[in-house]
């Protein structure tokens, strides 16, 4: 059982009341839309009074229909704090309400409301010591990409590993940028695994991330890596359980799950 | 914001129109049961589980699993609202009310005005006692008549359904009474200290 003062990221945060500043809704304008995959796009946004963010944080986005109907959803920020525009990457959930609109209908110049940044736990900056181990399932790559981009902008050479599970090569988001990042940085390894379909000459891993892959590709517990796992709920449940079984400290594993209804 | 921008062509895709008085502002109804947790799901063996009520240095209630299961059981059907925007209607939970826990240890009145819930995995959340008494709060051990799956907080979680669901802490092991309010885990990381979904108190300052 956790007690205050114990060596733990989680309990150390229990504090007295802090000064309060409301996160106001702000106007975001779409400056550019980048096609990432056949069902994912990145929206590059100009936000009027953006106060900055940490890699890993997310925003709430609010759409208003002509009849006044409003819908809110959360999306991870994919851009690093160093960039001028704020990027969110959206993958279409076919029976969703907001993501099909964002992926299929939104155009450069369109505006909507946004507030954030939100979440101060699932964050990483170059100020954190030790190896960085990122494990992504599908569009769970987005907040982890903000960390990798931040690391690249700061030219940090602490060892980093991205283990990235996608259904097929066509589903890999940020593929070229990740390849380039890894080629230009001997301290960064990017390990892809494709679960459903592999190209004929695929030399990488096949199938889901399992215990053997985590043990073989990953940092051993004694190196005390900072671990971030993001993806669909079953993916995160599996991976984080296996990491604990391999001897990693549960308190060093930060997770972000998204459910099937995330659309 | 001076003027709300309209997203041309955007419209509701909700098929059934849920009565407005069931769904707080900014929420949508889901049939799924999404999982949101900050770390790995703790795997707790029932034989190692216990639950305590604490004030200062003293424990005034402690139960192992069998003892907790033998306490007076209450079943409720309620709607739940997660700060990440989903709401789930008509969920059924079984467990022990906060009122019955106090009665069991012989307390006519709660010993302090606030509670910190402490959980396996290190999670904490603070709740005013006024939001737990009068049948408003429980420690639940069954969901839809079955043991609560670990990913959803089993073996036991707090249930305070009139607040955002992060207050209904998973894997709860200890309720610690406090004279003064202190912030728990998410409350220290930018989320609202109280979390009333009907006032849309998601984040600090809302």
Per-residue model confidence as pLDDT tens digits over B37-82? 889 999 999 999 999 999 988 899 999 999 999 999 999 999 999 9
Beta bridge partner(s), residue B42:
none
Residue B46, burial from CB neighbour count under 10 angstroms (0-12, 13-18, 19+): middle
- Which residues on chain A are in Cβ contact (under 8 Å) with B195? none
- Which residues on chain A are in Cβ contact (under 8 Å) with B182? 14-17
Which tokens hold the place of A53? Answer: 């963010």
pLDDT digits (tens, 9 = 90+) for A120-142: 999 999 999 899 999 999 999 99
The three-state DSSP-derived secondary structure of B24-55 is CCCCEECCCCCCCCCCCCCCCCHHHCEEEEEE
CB pair distance less than 8 Å for B10 and A243? no
Its pTM stands at: 0.91
CB pair distance less than 8 Å for A20 and B183? no
Angle between the N-to-C axes of helices A141-153 and A175-183, in degrees from 0 to 180, rounded to the nearest 10? 40
- Reported confidence tier of residue A218, pLDDT bands at 50, 70, 90: very high
Distance CA B196, CA B158 (A): 16
- Which residues on chain A are in Cβ contact (under 8 Å) with B24? none
Please tell me which residue of chain B has the smallest CA distance to A15.
B183
* Identity of the residue in B12, B189, B202 whose CB atom sits nearest the CB atom of A121: B189
Indicate the fold that domain B48-199 takes in CATH: Sulfite Oxidase; Chain A, domain 2 (3.90.420)
- Which residues on chain A are in Cβ contact (under 8 Å) with B4? 64, 113
In chain A, residues 100-129 whose CB comes closer than 8 Å to chain B:
100-101, 105-106, 110-113, 118-122
Contact A55, A78 (CB under 8 A): no
Torsion angles phi and psi, residue A88, rounded to 5 = -120, 140
CATH of A132-258, one of 3.60.15.10, 3.40.50.10320, 1.10.3720.10, 3.40.50.80: 3.40.50.80
Contact B94, B77 (CB under 8 A): no
CA–CA min distance A235, chain B (Å): 11
- Which residues on chain A are in Cβ contact (under 8 Å) with B84? 74
- Domain locations along chain B: 48-199
Quote the pLDDT of residue B34.
80
A49 touches chain B (CB under 8 A): no
Quote the pLDDT of residue A259.
58
The mean of the pLDDT values for chain A is 90
- Which residues on chain B are in Cβ contact (under 8 Å) with A237? 35, 41, 151
In chain A, residues 218-237 whose CB comes closer than 8 Å to chain B:
233, 237
- Domain locations along chain A: 26-118, 132-258
CATH entry 2.40.30.10 includes domain A26-118? yes
Please tell me which residue of chain A has the smallest CA distance to B44.
A1
pLDDT digits (tens, 9 = 90+) for A221-241: 999 999 999 999 999 999 999
CA–CA min distance B79, chain A (Å): 17
* Sign of CA pseudo-dihedral B93, B94, B96, B100: positive
Interface test with B, best of A14, A15, A234, A251 (most B CBs within 10 A): A14
A83 touches chain B (CB under 8 A): no
Quote the pLDDT of residue A19.
58
pLDDT digits (tens, 9 = 90+) for B20-43: 789 999 999 988 878 888 899 999
CA angle B34-B40-B44, nearest 5°? 100
Quote the pLDDT of residue B8.
86
Q: What is the ipTM of this complex?
A: 0.89
């Amino acid at each position: 059982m956790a007690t205050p003062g114990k060596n733990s990221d989680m309990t150390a945060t229990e504090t007295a009341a802090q000064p309060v500043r409301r996160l106001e809704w702000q106007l975001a304008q779409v400056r550019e839309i980048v096609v990432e995959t056949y069902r994912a796009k990145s929206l590059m946004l100009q936000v009027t009074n953006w106060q900055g963010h940490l890699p890993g944080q997310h925003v709430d986005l609010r759409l208003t229909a002509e009849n006044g109907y409003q819908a809110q959803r959360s999306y991870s920020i994919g851009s690093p704090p160093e960039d001028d525009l704020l990027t969110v990457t959206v993958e279409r959930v076919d029976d969703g309400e907001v993501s099909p609109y964002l992926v299929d209908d939104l155009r450069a110049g369109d505006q909507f409301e946004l507030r954030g940044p939100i979440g101060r736990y699932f964050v990483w900056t170059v100020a954190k010591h030790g190896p960085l181990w990122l494990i992504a399932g599908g569009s769970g790559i987005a907040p982890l990409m903000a960390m990798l981009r931040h690391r690249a902008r700061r030219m940090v050479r602490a060892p980093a590993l991205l283990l990235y599970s996608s259904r097929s090569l066509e589903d890999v988001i940020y593929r070229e940028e990740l390849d380039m990042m890894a080629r230009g940085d001997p301290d960064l390894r990017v390990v892809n695994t494709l679960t459903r379909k592999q190209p004929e000459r695929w030399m990488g891993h096949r199938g889901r991330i399992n215990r053997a892959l985590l043990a073989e590709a990953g940092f051993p517990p004694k190196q005390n890596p900072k671990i971030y796992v993001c993806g669909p709920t079953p993916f995160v449940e599996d991976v984080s359980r296996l990491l604990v079984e391999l001897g990693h400290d549960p308190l060093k594993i930060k997770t972000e799950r998204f459910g099937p209804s995330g659309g | 914001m001076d003027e709300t921008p309209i997203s041309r062509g955007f419209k509701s895709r909700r098929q059934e129109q849920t009565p407005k008085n069931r769904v707080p502002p900014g929420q949508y109804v889901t049939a799924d049961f999404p999982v949101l947790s900050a770390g790995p799901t703790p795997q707790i063996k029932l034989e190692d589980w216990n639950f305590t009520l604490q004030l200062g240095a003293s424990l005034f209630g402690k139960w192992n699993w069998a003892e907790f299961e033998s306490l007076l059981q209450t079943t409720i059907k309620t709607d739940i609202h997660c700060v990440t925007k989903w709401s789930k209607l008509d969920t059924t939970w079984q467990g022990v009310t906060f009122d019955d826990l106090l009665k069991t240890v012989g307390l006519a009145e709660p010993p302090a005005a606030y509670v910190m819930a402490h959980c396996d995995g290190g999670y904490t959340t603070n709740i005013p006692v006024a939001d737990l008494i009068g049948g408003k709060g429980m420690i639940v051990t069954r969901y839809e008549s079955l043991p609560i799956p670990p990913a959803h907080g089993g073996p036991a979680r707090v249930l305070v359904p009139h607040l955002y669901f992060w207050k209904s802490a998973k894997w709860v092991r200890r309720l610690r009474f406090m004279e003064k309010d202190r912030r728990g885990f998410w409350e220290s990381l930018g989320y609202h200290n109280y979390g009333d979904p009907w006032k849309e108190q998601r984040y600090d300052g809302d």
